[in-house]
Structure 1
């Protein structure tokens, strides 16, 4: 039996593999830094060990969102 042809999918003009790779690396670093924060909270070591990863997580999350030029 002949099956109808599959509908064409529009090509993504943005560099999809690069975009996915950057997102994956960012997600890995955020998870790693969250692990450091959780470890420092469990060990009751507040200070630079806790605040530095929190700052880096904030910067990684802020980088992804474009700013409006209003």
Structure 2
């Protein structure tokens, strides 16, 4: 099932998406913290290597995508004067 573009959603659907994004932010923060923990543990236990930087790269890539999606939603909510 394809997801509708934000500008095609109704006001009610946008507000529901905002509520859903709050819980997603918490989950994303836990995943991000877990990946940073893996990096720290790996560097202490085995020194610096490929498996030290791979989770770090993935964490920052994922964080940038999460941030971009949140900005688009906030921009659409502001354009419709919803908060």
2:52 equivalent in structure 1: 50
In the alignment, structure 1 segments of 5+ residues that lack a partner are 1-11
Q: Which has the higher helix share?
A: 2
TM, length-normalised to structure 1: 0.64
Residues 5-63 of structure 1: per-residue CA shift (max 9 Å, x gap)? xxxxxxx8352331012111110110000110110111133223211111111111210
Q: Unaligned regions of 5+ residues in structure 2, if any?
A: 1-13, 72-83
Match of 1:65 among 61, 64, 68: 68
Over aligned residues, Cα RMSD in angstroms?
A: 2.5
Give 4+ residue runs of structure 1 displaced > 6 Å after superposition.
none
Higher relative contact order (CA 8 A, sep 6+): 2
- Is 1:13 paired with 2:5? no
Residues paired across the two proteins, number: 57
What TM-score comes out, normalization by structure 2 length? 0.55
